[in-house]
Structure 1
């Protein structure tokens, strides 16, 4: 049976993550409040930010920035967009 959560991004009940995305309290909090759909969208957005802003994950400032953006994105607040990104059209 699929585990449901009230998603912090979409503000409705949706299928939750299968397991915490990373260890510790933050991972547990995400597990309890983020849907699979929101996490998938975050992973796609995160990749765009890393690529377009040339973030280096070995740099503490870049990791901190990405963590801040993740919190904003998943709480449906204003978050940074990747400059020059144009969504695909069907």
Structure 2
């Protein structure tokens, strides 16, 4: 049986994650307040940011930037998008 959470991004009850995505309080907060759909969308957006902005996850500044963008994305605030990115056309 899947669990539901009140998703802070979509502001409605949705299917939740099966386990916290991170250890500690941050992971628990995401587990309790973010839907599995919003988390999957963040992971895809994060990958796009890493690729388009040539970020290195060994760089503390890149990790700090991604953490901030994750907070914005999951809370429904304006978040950074890669300049010049054109999504694939729906065919």
The count of aligned residue pairs is 90
Helix, strand or coil at the partner of 2:51 = helix
Superposition deviation, residue 88 in structure 1 = 2.4
The runs of 5 or more residues in structure 1 that have no matched partner are none
- Once the two structures are superposed, residues 50-85 of structure 1 have per-residue CA deviations (whole angstroms, 9 ceiling, x without a partner) of 011111100111000000000000000010001122
Q: For 1:47-62, what aligned pairs fall within 5 Å after superposition?
A: 47-62=47-62
* Corresponding residue of 1:42: 42
* Corresponding residue of 2:63: 63
Q: TM-score, normalised by structure 1?
A: 0.96
The runs of 5 or more residues in structure 2 that have no matched partner are none
Counterpart CA distance in 2 for 1:43 and 1:18 is: 16
Counterpart CA distance in 1 for 2:23 and 2:8 is: 19
Counterpart CA distance in 2 for 1:88 and 1:8 is: 28
Superposition deviation, residue 31 in structure 1 = 0.2
Counterpart CA distance in 2 for 1:86 and 1:40 is: 20
Superposition deviation, residue 86 in structure 1 = 1.4
Q: TM-score, normalised by structure 2?
A: 0.95
* Structure 1: 4+ residue segments shifted above 6 A: none
